[in-house]
Amino acid sequence: MTTKNQGLRRSMFFVVSGEGSSDLGTKDLDGSLKKGAMTFILDRLSELSCGQVPDYELQSESDVKQLRKLLNLRDTGPRGTDESKKESEKLWLNSYALAVYAKRKEERAGLVYFRDTDGTRAAPHDRWKRMVDAMYSGFKHADYKWGVAMVPRPKSEAWFLAYYQKNDGTHNAYDKCSRFEDMSGNDGSQNSCKSLLMRWCSCSGNVYQDVITEEEIKCIDWNHIDMPSLTIFRKRFENVITGLNGRSYPHPDCQYTRAS
Decide if 221 contacts 136 (C-beta within 8 A).
no
Identify the pLDDT of residue 9.
41
Identify the pLDDT of residue 120.
59
Give dist(CA 232, CA 131) in Å, integer: 13
Name the β-bridge partners of 56.
14
Identify the pLDDT of residue 34.
94
Report how far apart, in Å, the C-alpha atoms of 149 and of each of 6, 110, 139, 212, 235 are.
27, 11, 10, 22, 11
Identify the pLDDT of residue 89.
94
Identify the pLDDT of residue 85.
87
Contacts (Cβ under 8 Å, ≥6 apart) of 218:
40, 44
Please report the domains of the chain, with CATH numbers, ordered by start residue: 13-155+225-258 (3.40.50)
Identify the pLDDT of residue 76.
47
Per-residue pLDDT of the chain (260 residues; tens, 9 = 90+): 444 444 444 479 999 999 888 899 999 988 889 999 999 999 999 999 999 999 999 999 999 999 999 999 875 445 555 778 889 999 999 999 999 999 999 989 999 999 999 865 556 668 999 999 999 999 999 999 999 999 999 999 999 999 999 999 999 999 999 999 999 888 888 789 999 999 999 999 999 989 999 999 999 999 999 999 999 999 999 999 999 999 999 999 876 665 54
Give dist(CA 260, CA 36) in Å, integer: 32
Give dist(CA 70, CA 26) in Å, integer: 23
Identify the pLDDT of residue 181.
94
pTM of the model: 0.91
Identify the pLDDT of residue 62.
94
Identify the pLDDT of residue 190.
78
Three-class HEC string of 83-150:
HHHHHHHHHHHHHHHHHHHHHHHCCCCEEEEECCCCCCCCCCCCHHHHHHHHHHHHHHHCCCCCEEEE
Three-class HEC string of 178-239:
HHHHHCECCCCCCCEHHHHHHHHCCCCCCHHHHCCCHHHHHHCCHHHCCCHHHHHHHHHHHH
Identify the pLDDT of residue 80.
52
